[in-house]
Chain A
């Protein structure tokens, strides 16, 4: 879902950058209040893994391919969209600067799509559905919906940019990412399952449980 330079006119890129800067301001504030030192290695390792995993494109129907983005994953691990903004700004910046994957002028839009929309929709959907349908179905739906909605937001941005016609953009992006979202859903579930099994202490939602156990002693 990496938009390249040239796809969005510069004045719109500037607007997306302003949005990103505002999001970063709030994310830095969040980190200074909430980012425990013990979670710093996790943030760093996840950023690296997400960078690497984005290279593993998996073929999907219609002659296209997809890869894990990880917005919902990060948002659920940290229970925070702000963590997503920080992580995806770092990853997308490196991808744009060193590898030409995603443009620099469009970095704002890319972080908005993959980090902000991805994280916010993922976290929000999880919170809304988890008591209704259970944890892992909820994680799957959250990751899937985040992927599809991020793709549609991207389609709208590219329509506003005059690059995609609205109908083709929404239909194609929606259709392909409906399949890509399945990959995202499955992988997000697997990774969170692995963390629950081997390092449950790293998941923010286990925090209150361990605190309760401490105070109950």
Chain B
């Protein structure tokens, strides 16, 4: 598909924003449980109730060997993969003239 200059700018700005979050989140994102997790605590849901059916490659947005750099890396990687999937989906499903 044809990308106009405006599109390219949008994509670059999008990537920069994702990079920004990827770099900042591992350091400044709150470690507090989110609303659902806190509700589970309030409801005395046991730790063992959650049982993932597969082992994800980067559980909890971490890549152990690389510590903080790993966290930044996997967030950015995830964003780029999502960008790709979004494009793939859009190109596949878009309006046909």
The verdict on B52 contacting chain A, using a C-beta distance below 8 Å, is yes
A interface size (C-beta, 8 A): 74
B60 touches A41 (CB 8 A): no
The one of A36, A52, A98, A164 in contact with B18, judged by C-beta atoms closer than 8 angstroms, is A52
The one of A40, A101, A172 in contact with B42, judged by C-beta atoms closer than 8 angstroms, is A172
A55 touches B38 (CB 8 A): no
Report the minimal beta-carbon distance from B34 to chain A, rounded to whole angstroms. Answer: 6
B29 touches A55 (CB 8 A): yes
Secondary structure of the A contact surface, majority rule: helix
B17 touches A49 (CB 8 A): yes
The one of A4, A40, A90, A173 in contact with B35, judged by C-beta atoms closer than 8 angstroms, is A173
B94 touches A36 (CB 8 A): yes
A-contact 0/1 string along B6-29, CB 8 Å cutoff:
110011011101100110110011
A52 touches B17 (CB 8 A): yes
A residues with a Cβ closer than 8 A to B are: 1-7, 28, 31-53, 55-60, 62-67, 86-87, 90-91, 93-101, 103-105, 151, 154-155, 163-165, 168-169, 172-173, 176-177, 180, 199, 202
B residues with a Cβ closer than 8 A to A are: 1-4, 6-7, 10-11, 13-15, 17-18, 21-22, 24-25, 28-40, 42-43, 45, 49-54, 56-61, 74-76, 78-87, 89-91, 93-96
